[in-house]
């Protein structure tokens, strides 16, 4: 056995084996996988092996698509048959809402070239003669759907990895992991200890136990999951072809052909957790006691759709455990608290996602970053707020509600509120409709008095459409007050603070009393963050960015942080924020600040700590993402309420009204301001996202500088459209067409409150960028004419925000 390796992967399920294969395939062959029993001794051996590609978000779809590519190659490369069947897949639509949901997915998947199209009920019955189509309105057909044999696919990854030089030690449980001072790891087993530069926790059902060996806690919880296999069905025996993968999302059911019978699995309407306090160490190739009564509702709905099930005999029932994160998405990537420690945990659909996770982790380990933005699965998306109680509640909720559609801007109530801003009660009294971001509540919009403070859920225009437009108008015409704590807030101080920020950020740091906007780039020159940075004192800066990214940002900062002379603090929860915006904002702050606030003394992009009313040391930044004149104010959370009351009472005769974050997101569309996770992400270079004007190449050195100099030509162009969408709505991910051919995609959409136009921001491929082109945007299956705008629809010169 080896005692030294570049990487030790812990766990020989499909995910661990795929990671090992991808490391070796990318040239890292000094790699080892440790498995406590035989390979596939967790969830992998009893999976149903169903495969599909039409999923959201896009990064997940790309991973699913890659799976199909890899299984085709893997069978040849390993010589191991994976039992890979490409049958196509059919998404059953029982309601108009499901049709809409599928139309949105279909449009989103065009970006990746994933082929899907709606088929008639007649065609649906031709493809699946078992269907009683009277329960359906329609169906979406996906070309890449099918299934794989789980054990064979896992063995194929293992065999191909071995052929490339990787080593696998079975019956070798990892008993402890210790980190050395240089960041490398000792991995103890019952036989030897292996010294590795990196370790990967791919321990599946035991992800929590292996994490605990390194002193970390992962938000994971196992649940039980059933599927059954019927006896042979005559209708299938007489088919003459193999059935496609069947997804009946509204009933939480998936099905596929197994032999001459049907395999039918269900996300049961009551979720049963398993091994809540820890997965038994002696659990292996076992199943759990079956309880088909939990599948009763799902099964009844399936009999309605496929009546031949009504008198089918049941050959086999599987009840197996799988382990989930709170949102049921995988937890992958470098753990934010530990160097050289990678997670590959909570993988819900390992036979769809394992290949992509292997690819992404190998890229992350070898190249320092994955090739695509995979934040939707990043372990850093959960903070300490996702504790055991939250994880338990959320896994139950999302498992049980898997048959529910996810709507644009949908907020989930489960486990909330976790953290509340100090002004929560005031917002609540004003009938705020709350959302939650990284565990903190914020007001999305305000319902009229007496109206239920709740979002309606639809793909068309929801109940908040008009109120949010009205809030936007208030911002444009008078004065809005917004609770504004959901920002990642970092304080960087110390004698080398400026120098360090100049190195880690792409723009030059501001002078004292000023702010700047700066992208943060990865070593490969991709966007790793987007910040407002204010210099409060000579050696003290405030750095503000997207709140959900705060642990991911910390992870990036930590890579470059020197041991001395720079103090970095994450003040995101300690500090609260308030924002005033609109033409009367300057009048309000002038009344309250003990400083000259006119534009001559405190111009646009000024930043200072000042006294507001009787509240000292309020950090005031003259900037507004709405594109109006505005001021962001940050202060310790316990003082937020006093400042809020002061602003509200003084602003009364200046037309002040409470506004929510949705009004912010809609007003910024009129300004074509890009937002993190929508227009800005590691998927783009600074040039593609038009952020290069904030990249200061005259600085001698900063992270990503070499890559910027060597940028390949841009693949896509950032664009703004106004769209003739009528009574529909734009949400993001819709396909953009040029002369009837797919040309790009929308990243975010909405309605401009002052311009009164549907607005879409997005990207088109550079080849398809034509100033006079006839563009259209696909909304719920219909092509709507779109007009390209070369500058923002509102105040293109930026005179308002400087006024």
Ligand X SMILES: Cc1cc2nc3c(=O)[nH]c(=O)nc-3n(C[C@H](O)[C@H](O)[C@H](O)COP(=O)(O)OP(=O)(O)OC[C@H]3O[C@@H](n4cnc5c(N)ncnc54)[C@H](O)[C@@H]3O)c2cc1C
Binding site for ligand X (CB under 6 A): 10-16, 34-37, 40-44, 46-50, 173-174, 202-206, 210, 225, 227, 265, 318, 320-322, 347-352
Query: 174 vs 506, which CB is nearer to ligand X?
Result: 174
CB nearer to ligand X: give 8 or 643. Answer: 8
Bridge partners (DSSP) listed for residue 86 = 146
**Nearest approach, Cβ of 250 to ligand X (angstroms)?**
18
- CB of 280 vs ligand X, minimal distance in Å: 11
CB of 213 to ligand X, least distance (A): 8
For the record, the structure tokens of 217 come out as 């806690």
Distance, CA of 351 to CA of 507 (rounded, Å): 42
CB closer to ligand X, 290 vs 387: 290
Q: Measured from the CB atom, is 53 or 667 closer to ligand X?
A: 53
CB of residue 132 vs ligand X: minimum separation in angstroms?
24
Is the four-CA dihedral 144, 145, 146, 151 of positive or negative sign? positive
Name the E strands within 143-211.
146-147, 167-169, 174-179, 185-189, 193-201
Concatenate the DSSP letters of all residues of 463-492 into one string.
TTHHHHHHHHHHHHHSEEEEE---EEEEEE
> SS3 for 306-360, per residue?
CHHHHHCCEEEEEEEEEEECCCCCCEEEECCCCCCEEEEECCCCHHHHHHHHHHH
Shortest Cβ distance from residue 36 to ligand X (Å)? Answer: 4
Rounded to a whole number of angstroms, the minimum distance from the CB of residue 387 to ligand X is 22
Backbone dihedral region for residue 513 (phi beyond 0: left; psi -120 to 50: alpha; all else: beta): left
State which residue, 257 or 486, has the beta carbon closest to ligand X.
257
Residue with tokens 């050289």: 340
HEC secondary structure over 625-690: CCCCCEEEEEEEHHHHHHHHHHHHHHHHHHCEEECCHHHHHHHHHHCCCCCECCCECCCCECCCCC
Give 14 or 380: the residue with its C-beta nearer to ligand X: 14
Strand bridging mode 193-201 / 540-546: unpaired
Distance, in Å, from the CA atom of 524 to the CA atom of 204, rounded to the nearest integer, reads: 31
Nearest alpha carbon to residue 103 among 132, 138, 76, 130: 138
Counting beta carbons within 10 angstroms of the beta carbon of residue 560, is it exposed (0 to 12), middle (13 to 18) or buried (19 or more)? exposed
φ/ψ bin of 11: left (φ > 0), alpha (ψ from -120 to 50), beta (otherwise): left
For ligand X, give the closer residue by CB, 82 or 210: 210
CB-nearer residue toward ligand X: 35 or 683: 35
Distance CA 258, CA 406 (A): 30
Query: Nearest approach, Cβ of 490 to ligand X (angstroms)?
Result: 34
Beta bridge partners of 323: 222
Rounded to an integer, what distance in angstroms lies between the CA atom of residue 265 and that of residue 150? Answer: 15
Closest separation in Å from C-beta 233 to ligand X = 20
- C-beta of 11 vs 577, nearer to ligand X: 11
Closer Cβ to ligand X, 12 or 744, answer by number: 12
Is residue 720 within 8 Å of 759, Cβ to Cβ?
yes
**Contact predicate 114/53, CB 8 Å:** yes
Nearer to ligand X, 174 or 788 (CB): 174
CB of 189 to ligand X, least distance (A): 7
Q: How far is the CB of 316 from ligand X (least distance, A)?
A: 11
Residue 174 or 588 having the CB closest to ligand X: 174
**Minimum distance from residue 485 beta carbon to ligand X (Å):** 36
**Nearer CB in complex with ligand X: 41/391:** 41
Q: How far is the CB of 27 from ligand X (least distance, A)?
A: 23
Q: How far apart are CA 588 and CA 603, in angstroms?
A: 15
Q: Of the candidates 785, 741, 781, 739, which has an alpha carbon nearest to the alpha carbon of residue 760?
A: 785
The Cα diameter of the chain in Å comes to 85
Alpha-carbon gap, residue 686 to 521, rounded angstroms: 8
Nearer to ligand X, 49 or 582 (CB): 49
**For residue 577, is the peptide bond before it cis, meaning its omega torsion is within 30 degrees of 0?**
no
Q: What is the CA radius of gyration of the chain?
A: 27
**CA neighbor of 149 nearest in space, from 138, 140, 157, 137:** 157
CB 82 within 8 A of CB 152: yes
Please, what is the minimum distance in Å from the beta carbon of residue 343 to ligand X? 11
Give the nearest distance from C-beta 128 to ligand X in angstroms: 18
d(Cα 648, Cα 695) in Å, to the nearest integer? 38
In the complex with ligand X, the residue whose CB is nearer, 51 or 104, is 51
Q: How far apart are CA 184 and CA 167, in angstroms?
A: 19
Report the nearest approach of ligand X to the CB of residue 769 (Å).
38
CA dist 530 and 527 (Å) reads 8
Neighbours of 234 (CB within 10 A): 10
Residue 539: CB atoms within 10 A of its CB come to 17
Q: Nearest to residue 385, comparing CAs of 573, 571, 204?
A: 573
Q: How far is the CB of 345 from ligand X (least distance, A)?
A: 7
Q: How far is the CB of 48 from ligand X (least distance, A)?
A: 3
For ligand X, give the closer residue by CB, 174 or 361: 174
The minimum distance between CB 551 and ligand X, in angstroms, equals 22
Q: Which is nearer to ligand X, 344 or 479 (CB)?
A: 344
Q: Which residues contact 324 (CB under 8 A, 6 or more apart)?
A: 220, 221, 222, 223, 346, 348, 395, 398, 399
Name the one residue in this structure whose structure tokens are 């210790």: 178
Q: Which is nearer to ligand X, 45 or 631 (CB)?
A: 45
């Amino acid at each position: 056995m080896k005692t030294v390796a570049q990487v030790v992967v812990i766990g020989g399920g499909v995910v661990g084996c795929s990671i090992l294969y991808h490391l070796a395939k990318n040239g890292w062959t000094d790699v080892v996988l440790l498995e406590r029993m035989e390979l596939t001794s967790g969830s992998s051996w009893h999976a149903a092996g169903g495969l599909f590609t039409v999923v959201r978000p896009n990064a997940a779809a790309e991973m699913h698509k890659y799976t199909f590519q890899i299984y085709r190659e893997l069978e040849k490369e390993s010589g191991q048959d994976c039992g890979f069947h490409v049958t196509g897949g059919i998404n059953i639509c029982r309601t108009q809402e499901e049709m809409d949901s599928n139309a949105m997915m279909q449009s989103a998947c065009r970006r990746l070239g994933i082929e899907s199209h709606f088929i008639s009920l007649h065609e649906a019955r031709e493809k699946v003669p078992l269907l009683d189509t009277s329960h359906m309105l329609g169906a979406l057909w996906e070309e890449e759907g099918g299934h794989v044999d789980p054990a064979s696919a896992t063995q194929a990854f293992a065999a191909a990895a071995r052929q490339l030089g990787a080593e696998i030690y079975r019956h070798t449980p990892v008993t402890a992991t210790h980190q050395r001072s240089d960041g490398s790891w000792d991995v103890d087993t019952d036989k030897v200890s292996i010294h590795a530069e990196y370790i990967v926790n791919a321990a599946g059902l035991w992800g929590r136990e292996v994490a605990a060996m390194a002193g970390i806690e992962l938000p994971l919880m196992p649940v039980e999951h059933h599927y059954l296999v019927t006896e042979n069905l005559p209708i299938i025996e007489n088919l003459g072809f193999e059935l496609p993968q069947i997804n009946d999302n509204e009933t939480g059911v998936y099905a596929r052909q197994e032999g001459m019978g049907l395999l039918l699995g269900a996300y049961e309407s009551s979720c049963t957790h398993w091994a809540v306090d820890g997965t038994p160490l002696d659990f292996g190739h076992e199943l759990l006691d079956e309880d088909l009564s939990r599948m009763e509702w799902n099964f009844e709905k399936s009999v309605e759709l496929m009546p031949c099930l009504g008198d089918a005999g049941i050959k086999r029932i599987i009840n197996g455990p799988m382990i989930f994160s709170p949102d049921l998405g995988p937890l992958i990537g470098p753990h934010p608290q530990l160097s050289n420690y990678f997670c590959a945990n909570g993988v819900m659909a390992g036979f769809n996602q394992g290949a992509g996770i292997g690819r992404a982790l190998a890229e992350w380990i070898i190249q320092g970053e994955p090739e695509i933005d995979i934040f939707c699965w990043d372990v850093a998306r959960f903070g300490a707020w996702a504790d055991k109680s939250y994880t338990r509640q959320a896994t139950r909720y999302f498992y049980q509600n898997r048959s529910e559609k996810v709507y644009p801007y949908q907020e989930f109530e489960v486990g909330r509120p976790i953290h509340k801003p100090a002004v929560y009660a005031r917002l609540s009294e004003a009938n705020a409709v709350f959302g939650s971001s990284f565990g903190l509540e914020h007001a999305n919009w305000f319902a009229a008095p007496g109206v239920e403070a709740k979002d309606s859920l639809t793909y068309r225009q929801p109940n908040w459409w008009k109120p949010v437009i009205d809030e936007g108008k208030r911002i444009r015409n008078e004065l809005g007050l917004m609770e504004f704590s959901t920002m990642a807030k970092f304080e960087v101080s110390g004698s080398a603070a400026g120098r360090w920020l100049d190195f880690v950020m792409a723009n030059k740091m501001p002078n004292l009393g000023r702010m700047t906007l700066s992208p943060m780039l990865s070593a490969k020159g991709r966007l790793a963050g987007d910040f407002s940075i204010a210099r409060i004192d000579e050696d003290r800066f405030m750095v503000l960015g997207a709140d959900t990214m705060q642990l991911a940002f910390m992870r990036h900062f930590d890579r470059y942080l020197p041991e001395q002379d720079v103090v970095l603090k994450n003040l995101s929860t300690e500090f609260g924020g308030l924002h005033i915006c609109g033409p009367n904002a300057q009048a309000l702050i002038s009344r309250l600040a003990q400083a000259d606030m006119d534009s001559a003394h405190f111009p646009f992009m000024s930043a200072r700590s000042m006294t507001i009313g009787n509240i000292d040391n309020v950090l005031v930044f003259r900037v507004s993402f709405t594109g109006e004149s505005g001021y962001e104010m940050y202060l310790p959370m316990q003082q937020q309420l006093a400042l809020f009351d002061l602003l509200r009472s003084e602003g009364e005769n200046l037309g002040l009204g409470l506004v929510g974050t949705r009004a912010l997101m809609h007003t910024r569309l009129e300004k074509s301001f890009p937002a993190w996770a929508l227009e800005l992400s590691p998927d783009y270079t600074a040039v593609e996202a038009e952020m290069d004007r904030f990249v200061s190449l005259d600085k001698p050195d900063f992270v990503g500088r070499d890559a910027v100099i060597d940028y390949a030509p841009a693949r896509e162009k950032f664009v703004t459209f106004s769209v003739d969408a009528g009574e529909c709505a734009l949400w993001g991910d819709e396909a953009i067409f040029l002369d009837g051919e797919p040309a790009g995609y929308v990243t975010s959409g909405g309605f401009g409150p002052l311009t009164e136009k549907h607005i879409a921001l997005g990207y088109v491929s550079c080849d398809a960028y034509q100033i006079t082109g006839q563009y259209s945007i696909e909304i719920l299956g219909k092509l709507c004419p779109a007009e390209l705008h070369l500058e923002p629809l509102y105040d293109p010169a930026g005179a308002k925000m400087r006024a």
